[in-house]
Structure 1
Amino acid sequence: MPGSHDPYADIRPYFDHEVTPVLQRLLRSKRVMDAVLTHQLGAIPSWQRRLLQPWAQYKLKKELSGLATVEQFQHWLEPHIERLLTSTTTSVEVRGLEQLKPDRAYTWISNHRDIAMDPTFINFALHRAGWPTSRIAIGDNLLADEDVADLMRLNKSFVVKRSVTGRREKLNELSRLSEFIHQSNVQGHGVWIAQREGRAKDNRDLTDTAVLKMLSLYGRQDKTPFSEAVAALNPVPVCIHYEWDPCDVLKARELVAVAEQGEYEKQAQEDIRSIMAGLTGFKGRVFVSFGQPLTSQDLESAELMAAAIDRQILDMTPVTEVQKAAAALLDRNFGAPASDVGELLQQRVANEPESVQRRVWQTYAAPLLSL
């Protein structure tokens, strides 16, 4: 349990004085070293990788040995992120930041498409514009692996304890989370949080009012009204959109299983596989659109706030050829492809059952169907 001197010790991002011991712990992890070597030397045969392993380990340890702050770690990470984005996107288009103030701590409330890449793209957009990067809310279901948890908390992530059971325990954890987000804001740290728990696998971006009510819990003891509590956090909707979703078929299979069988049972390590697919898969054009700060009228209730966020996110969602081709395929009821993009969509699902094919196209077409 967190100590009284540091009530957020088990959920907050790591502080600067913790960076060196955490990095030393990660460097001792065989799994981390194997993953890094596979990423850096993946183009060469595995037997050669094994021969190069001592050299690569020495090189990595030397690179990381001088890092003593979170900012230094993020600067070290920057070229690796740049290479990842260059290899998996054709462009990253950022919109709307010029209407906001870089010296203000905002609470970014975005739609949720990809586990790791959503906050990565938002922080990339902020960093490229010369803004401070934000703290990132991430569910503890993704942090069961200690190495993953260490890496995420080094990179400004904080933990949302979704696995807690019991009504009182859950309320206590949600209140503590709300207090941490409020404290972050007061200290000048922006925060990213998804509009709902879990990804919108059908691409229908609807805000869960429970997330918004959580944000206001920090004011409960002082009986601060909802509108006043959330207004202090400077909430701004953000829309992130991927032209191509590397996890599109995986999501469609899950949605079809739920529709046909009433449930879907995740396999072991499935979240990690989704993270890796999202990181390394091709995304085409990516759009990161920052909206307008919510007005006092928007914040009168959680329901009005959710509707305002949903409206802004839908308005900021770009219309792409992929969406149009998906809508055309649905209208043509598995007829001839509508375009070159339509052929690509058909190729992506060629080996899938008809129900999964339709689900993929419905998901891509969802923003158009919502207009």
Structure 2
Amino acid sequence: MSELVDKYADIRPYNDDEVADSVARLIADNAFIDVLAKYNLPRFISSVPFFARFLVRRQLQKKWGAVNSVEQVQQEVAKYLALLVKRTTSEVTFSGLEQLDPKQAYLFISNHRDIVLDPALVNWGLFSHNMKTVRIAIGDNLLQIPYITELMRLNKSFIVKRSAKAPKEMLKALSQLSAYIYDSLAGGHSIWIAQKEGRAKDGFDQTDPALLKMLQLNGRKQKKEFSEYVRELKIVPVSISYQYEPCAIAKAKELYHRQHHGQYVKSAGEDIASIVEGFSAAKGHVHLAFGQPIETGCESPEQLAKTIDEQIIDSFFLHPGNYIAGGCKQAVIDKADAQSFEQRMARVPDELKPLVLAMYAKPFHRKAEYNSKEHEQ
């Protein structure tokens, strides 16, 4: 294994020669098998662990037993995504992909509404347009369960060490991450990373300049100006817009708790529950708008954050719920769509309704504000 790969061994995705062992570990992992049984088998079978595990393992060995390369894993994931799109969305649409060069590696920075679906749907768009799928940045806070780590690293995910707290340790982890992203792009591998740590639970999509300062750590080592280094990274903002906000009630509960108790402590398994809900709940129409590679407006991390935000806000696709929650009377909204949004809101507990409505209204108001500023100029 080359020295370049070795220095990233603790954070990088698996290579082809590590895939078969990882698949074997997954098939041997009872916790993973039990989760699959719970969500895929009738309750009367999944409640008998010995029998359920036997059935699931046999099925997995049949399907995954021969998988031994990253490309084969991607093909399997694509089949699963095709089913997921069919079952849980009315349609998934894309814009801007035709303007990107299929031979070029890009750093995709997107707004963040769903833990796993956001990068999965970015990959679905690239895969559908015969472009290479991305390497995905994922926080180590999600990797407390061995089978989740296996699944993520099998599926081209690399680890962001958020748990590092001591200043020296943090700088070392961030410098390694910055170099890994640069070397991946230089090696022809596109990257996906969210515009800030954690999902936008209030519907307010905003890029954190700290993320961009992390990217520059490697540029500083190379003694490059910020703007010159950023142009090399080929940053493409991506705006992801769901007709029905993933995990809206869970997000609102967290916001409500923070407002009334000052803080919110996640319970064990909450992130896994959010991942499962994101995958299984109805999402309606999902649109992903791929922006233009950023060449200007990148003199400082703050200016670059503003440039990314402008593209994300400008290209955000507004759904009927965004117009309704935003109080826009002029929008022509299909009666069935309006009814569907009303029915969805009727299922939201009363104390959470204002927070869920604000989640949908925020993109509408920000887009209106952005357009009025553009008009003034």
TM-score of the two chains, using structure 1 as the length reference: 0.91
Partner SS, residue 105 of structure 1: coil
Identity %: 42
1:305 aligned partner: 304
- One-letter code aligned to 1:57: R
1:61 aligned partner: 61
1:179 aligned partner: 179
- One-letter code aligned to 2:359: T
Gaps of 5+ in 2: 369-377
Aligned partners of 1:41 and 1:49 also within 8 Å: no
Change (3 A) 1:5 1:14: closer
CA distance in 2, matches of 1:62, 1:352: 42
Q: Does 1:259 align with 2:255?
A: no
Q: Deviation at 1:38?
A: 3.4
Summarize the alignment of residues 107-256 of structure 1 with structure 2, pairs less than 5 Å apart: 107-256=107-256
Aligned partners of 1:326 and 1:345 also within 8 Å: no
1:333 aligned partner: none
Change (3 A) 1:47 1:172: closer
Aligned partners of 1:239 and 1:288 also within 8 Å: yes
Change (3 A) 1:32 1:112: same
1:315 aligned partner: 314
- CA displacement 1:136-161 (0-9 Å, x = unmatched): 00000001111101100000000000
TM-score of the two chains, using structure 2 as the length reference: 0.90
- One-letter code aligned to 1:348: R
Q: Deviation at 1:356?
A: 1.1
Moved more, 352-361 or 206-215: 352-361
- CA displacement 1:70-123 (0-9 Å, x = unmatched): 111111222122111211101000110101101000000000000000000000
2:373 aligned partner: none
- CA displacement 1:270-309 (0-9 Å, x = unmatched): 11111111111110000011001112x3121111111111
- CA displacement 1:217-247 (0-9 Å, x = unmatched): 1122232211122221110100111100230
Partner SS, residue 278 of structure 1: helix
Q: Deviation at 1:262?
A: 1.8
* Structure 1 runs (4+) greater than 6 angstroms displaced: none
2:372 aligned partner: none
CA distance in 2, matches of 1:304, 1:71: 38
1:359 aligned partner: 355
Moved more, 115-124 or 270-279: 270-279
- One-letter code aligned to 1:30: N
Aligned partners of 2:109 and 2:194 also within 8 Å: yes
- One-letter code aligned to 1:188: G
Aligned partners of 1:329 and 1:361 also within 8 Å: no
Change (3 A) 1:138 1:47: closer
Moved more, 81-90 or 179-188: 81-90
Moved more, 22-31 or 318-327: 318-327
- One-letter code aligned to 2:112: H
1:324 aligned partner: 323
CA distance in 1, matches of 2:45, 2:58: 20
Change (3 A) 1:121 1:53: same
Partner SS, residue 63 of structure 1: helix
- One-letter code aligned to 1:180: Y
CA distance in 1, matches of 2:57, 2:260: 48
Change (3 A) 1:136 1:313: same
Aligned partners of 1:326 and 1:342 also within 8 Å: no
Aligned partners of 1:137 and 1:192 also within 8 Å: yes
CA RMSD of aligned residues (A): 2.3
- One-letter code aligned to 1:361: L
Q: Deviation at 1:6?
A: 1.0
CA distance in 1, matches of 2:56, 2:139: 32
- CA displacement 1:318-342 (0-9 Å, x = unmatched): 1221112223399xxxxxxx96555
Aligned partners of 2:111 and 2:195 also within 8 Å: yes
Partner SS, residue 238 of structure 1: strand
CA distance in 2, matches of 1:214, 1:282: 35
CA distance in 2, matches of 1:34, 1:199: 28
CA distance in 1, matches of 2:127, 2:44: 33
Summarize the alignment of residues 9-28 of structure 1 with structure 2, pairs less than 5 Å apart: 9-28=9-28
CA distance in 1, matches of 2:67, 2:228: 40
1:100 aligned partner: 100
CA distance in 1, matches of 2:42, 2:124: 25
Gaps of 5+ in 1: 331-337
Q: Deviation at 1:355?
A: 3.7
